[in-house]
Amino acid sequence: MRISYDNELGGSSTSSAARFRQQTLKNSIYCSGTGLHGGAKVAMSLHPAAPDTGIVFRRSDIAGEDAVIQGRYDMVSDTRLCTTLSNEAGVSISTVEHLMAALAGCGLDNVIVEINGPEIPIMDGSSEPFVFLIDCAGVEMQDAPRRVIRVLKPVSVEDGGSTARIEPWVGSSINIELDFESAVIGRQSLFMDMLSESFRERLSRARTFGFLHEVEALQAAGLARGGSMENAVVISGDTVLNEGGLRFDDECARHKALDCVGDLYLAGAMLIGHFHGVRPGHAINNRLLRELLADESAWEMADMDEIADEIAAVEARGELVRA
């Protein structure tokens, strides 16, 4: 992994006012790495962007307007093995979920991601390297209110043994449940309050995981060509093959939560609601967003400072934050 940056190092904004204003990067920053599925070396840079830009991907190896891909749920074209975005010209960028999770967890609203290939580098399989990049570049508060999407009624989707549901909540939270036969995972659950708990400490270091027989089958089919134990947790039966084992006892649940944070940030703003996923994946996460945002009675746009006042009032009364 190679990293460089412009100007002096910065750090993430810690001001309480930052929750209510849009944020971007102070400086541009660059890195290089390998694509998990294509196996190609890629160079990526993150750049500051104006208020209300959102997250925008730009393929530097493609000429003209066709190079631009909006980081939105309705641009998702494939959810096999990762989340892939495509524009109308058919230009795509894949494996966006870990970077999107880092941008969400660090409170960044407006960023231009420039990359010279079709896949975001996998780095170590988590969001931590991207959080490090953001810390190096620094975070800058902008003169525009942060907009959020407030969930007004429950919406749920099912797909085989997987379910995803989002419902009204005075805050933003995620609950994940996993159930695998492997003793490495077994039954795991995790609850994360995205407004009061640290994405950096609880989720960012959790790595993607897979089973050895699945990895071998994918690589035999010409997929996951960049995968290794340097960028994924590999499980064989009831054993973790990686030297050093797991970073957390529930690393798999934490990584599923990380994926959900990234996939849900493709809504275009933070969701004010409670997400509950049972064995969730990229496909069902995107289906849930499409169901939610297609129903104009199920959500509304609001300013973050309005939501914060409501949360403070509920907490002051000692009530639960559920709507």
Q: How far is it, in rounded angstroms, from Cα 128 to Cα 201?
A: 9
Number of other CB atoms surrounding residue 65 within 10 Å: 10
282 is an active site residue: yes
Long-range CB contact pairs, 16-19, < 8 A, 24+ = 17/141, 18/107, 18/139, 18/141, 19/107, 19/146, 19/304, 19/308
The 3-state secondary structure of 80-106 reads: CCCCEEECCCCCEEECCHHHHHHHHHC
Give SS3 for 66. helix
CB 162 within 8 A of CB 284: yes
Encoding tokens for residue 238?
């009831």
Q: Which residue reads 């944020």 in tokens?
A: 23
Sign, CA dihedral 121-5-195-169, equals: negative
Q: What is the largest CA-CA distance in the chain?
A: 58
Give SS3 for 128. helix
What residues does 136 pair with on adjacent strands? none
What residues does 211 pair with on adjacent strands? 235
Q: How far is it, in rounded angstroms, from Cα 167 to Cα 235?
A: 34
Catalytic center residues: 282
